[in-house]
Every structure is written in C-alpha cells, then in structure tokens.
Amino acid sequence: MKKLLTILTITLVTTASIFAMGPSRPYKSAEIQLNTTIDEYPVEYQLYYNNVAIEDGGYKEIEVNPLTEGDSTEDFTIRSNSNMNNDLQVEVTVEPTSFKTVLNGDEVFDSEITPRVGWKRQINTITAGKHMDYLIYVFDLAWVGNENLPAGDYVSDVNIEYTII
C-alpha cells in the first residue's frame, strides 16, 4: 500500500507540473511610457512687517519709542511661493540711515544713531521643488537710545531691496 501511495503521489506531481506549463507559445511584449507635465508658475515673493504685506514700491511709516530709549521693530519677513524645477537665488539688502531731525526750522541734525539689522533667518537659495508660503528671510531693526538728544521728530529712512532669481 505504501508503494502504491508513493507511485500515485509521484504521478500526481508530474502530471500537475505538465499541465501547469501548458502548451508552448511564443510571448510578445511591449513597453509604454506615460508622460505628463506640471507647469511652472513664476516665483512669487512678498515683504511683510508684523505679518502685514508691504506692496512692491510701497511706503510704510512705523512708529517706535522715543529715541531717548533703545528699541526695536517687530519682525520683517520675506515669504515666497514657487514650484520651479531649478534652484533660485535670493538677494536681500537692508540699508538704514541714521535718525535725523530738523532744528531751528531748517538745520538737519543727525543723531548718529543708525538702526542695526538683526538677521534672524537667511535662506539664500530656494531649492528646486514646491514651496508654499516659504519663510526665507526674517530680520528686525534695533538701536540704542541716547538721553542727550534734543527734542524733535526723528526719522530713519530704511531701503529694503529683495529679489529672487
């Protein structure tokens, strides 16, 4: 009986493998390629002061504490949106002038206090890829006051230029 069972098992395995192979047929093949495009959109970027946008070419007056005290501004930020497939270079310059006022009606008085730029974040290269509301620059302006200054309305003009190329 054992011999018969062994012969049946071998026959069954052999028969199953023959049927599994099936008749010999030539195979055909093909390769396909799926193509699509995601359009690039021009990089957008904006300067903000205290989370409020300052329009390109815009002008903003910021009230600060009297110049007899040290002070600093809230943060300025530059944010961008991009989906470019190449790296982009960021250039930012901030050039403050010293605080000045007018004495005797026509005499310009220079306080010799110039705000310093406090860089908090500087990303000089935006890497290829999709970036939305990407924070690339953060800075503030700060200065030390002087109790010995004459009264007056002091002004420091600050030129901020920024570009992404």
Instruction: Report how far residue 87's alpha carbon sits from residue 100's, in angstroms, rounded to the nearest whole number.
Output: 41
22 pLDDT tier (thresholds 50, 70, 90): low
Mean pLDDT of 26-53: 95
More confident residue, 21 or 145: 145
pLDDT of 157 above 80:
yes
pLDDT computed for residue 24 by the predictor:
75
Instruction: For 9-42, give the DSSP string.
Output: HHHHHHHHHHHHH-S-------------------
pLDDT computed for residue 95 by the predictor:
98
132 pLDDT tier (thresholds 50, 70, 90): very high
